[in-house]
Amino acid sequence: MHRLLACLLLLATTPAWADETKEIGHVNTAITNLGLTRSHRVVVERFTDPEVRGVSCYISQARTGGLSGMLGVAEDPARFALNCTATGPVEVQPGARRGERGEVVFESSTSLFFKETRVHRFVDEERSAVVYLAWSTRLIDGSPYNAVSAVPIR
């Protein structure tokens, strides 16, 4: 039973497309429990969009430390920043969803239940750009926290 619970917790805290996601680094922002447990921190991760070649996105997110953070049951704050950049020739694949609803290209669970950070991709055909929007599924005062980054298609 304990192994099953541990596996479920691990799955709940693993971002989508984990083979495409890499932690670049982190900084500790506050020491918890006199340093006996993981500190609160800001983590920087890189992910790639499987439908857009030549783009890497970097997202920084606050992660809760302490015992609950170590066990994967803490609720992380809905705070993040996003920057996407061209790392080669930008090519939008024919299978990339277009339209005003965009397509989810990254998900990261930020609580045990019901709260995630998501990144949607939009293609601005008129201005030849790929736009990425990071947002939290937890509503705060009627609107979610969000961040946006755009990469020109050349």
Judged against a pLDDT cut of 80, whether residue 126 lies above it is answered with yes
Rounded CA-CA distance 25/97 in Å is 31
Predicted pLDDT at 13: 37
Q: How does pLDDT run across 17-28, given as a tens digit for each residue?
A: 434 789 899 888
Q: Is the pTM of this model over 0.75?
A: no
Of the listed ranges 51-55, 69-73, 141-145, the one predicted with least confidence = 69-73
Domain range annotation of the chain: 2-152
User: Could you give the C-alpha distances from 139 to 27, 114, 135, in angstroms and in order?
Assistant: 27, 11, 10
Q: How does pLDDT run across 55-65, given as a tens digit for each residue?
A: 999 999 887 77
Q: C-alpha angle with apex 61: 54 to 134, nearest 5 degrees?
A: 55
- Which structure tokens are listed for 113? 């239940």
Predicted pLDDT at 105: 93
